[in-house]
Amino acid sequence: MATVVAVAMCASALAACSGGSSKARSSKAAPINSSVALQLTTTNVESAGPAVAFPADVRDQAAQVVNSYVEGAVVTALRTGTSDPRFTQVFTPDAAAKATGPDRAVVTDDGVEKTTGSIDPSKATVALTALADTAGHVVLVSAALTLELRAPVAGGTLHLTRLGDLVLAPSGGAWRVAGYDLAVTRDGPGVTAAAASGRAHEGPTA
């Protein structure tokens, strides 16, 4: 899934984004501390002004935000049946309200059959794209998330895929998830028709 939300916000966040774009890339993979071995695959800067490198502090904060989301909303839910409520601390208030309200079935894995063994990630990656203004200041970060997981559950194996983008913006002195465009598919014992697939969108408000 393309970075739909970040592109949609480009016009309002960066008035000059349509012209004079410059890019800075790094393809060096970096591991993120996660029980599903989430990997940061690439960083990219889309700048409306001068070419700039991805700020290391912003990169590290953004990667940790995505890691915290995955651990709290996905991994904890698969292990215990309920997501860790603290995962909302990396969301802005408006995004958290949607993520734990009408979008909960897509954003989290609450209510899915609990795993009886180790979670096996066939793919668990995140790629970061920063949007910089005409002065070269990063104002938004889009995190493209790919999760493909298998986990043993009572009666068989759960297959879970979650794809999409988390959009981070400065909020309350930290980088937080201000929007998302996520799709989830699930297959395995205990997965109801309603939980088999879904998509949720929330636009940044910061």
Domain presence at residue 62:
yes
Domain presence at residue 17:
no
Whole-model pTM?
0.85
Domain presence at residue 177:
yes
Domain presence at residue 191:
yes
How confident is the model over 91-100, as pLDDT tens digits?
999 999 999 9
Per-residue tokens: 149: 């997981």
Going by pLDDT thresholds of 50, 70 and 90, the confidence category of residue 158 is: very high
| Secondary structure of residue 147 in the 3-state scheme | strand
Domain presence at residue 142:
yes
Domain region containing 185 = 4-9+28-202
Domain presence at residue 21:
no
Output phi, psi for 14, to 5 deg: -130, 100
Query: What pLDDT shows up at residue 40?
Result: 95
Return the CATH number at 109. 3.10.450
Report whether pLDDT(177) > 60: yes
Domain presence at residue 169:
yes
CA dihedral (205, 1, 27, 69) positive or negative: positive
Contact 184, 21 (CB under 8 A): no
Report whether pLDDT(7) > 50: no
Residue type, 197: S
Query: What pLDDT shows up at residue 35?
Result: 78
Domain presence at residue 20:
no
Query: What pLDDT shows up at residue 11?
Result: 36
41 backbone φψ class: left, alpha, beta (φ>0; ψ -120 to 50): alpha
Dist. CA 60–CA 42, nearest whole Å: 12
Dist. CA 16–CA 156, nearest whole Å: 52
Residues contacting residue 7 through CB under 8 Å, at least 6 positions apart: none
Query: What pLDDT shows up at residue 37?
Result: 79
Number of structural domains found in the chain: 1
Per-residue tokens: 27: 């393809």
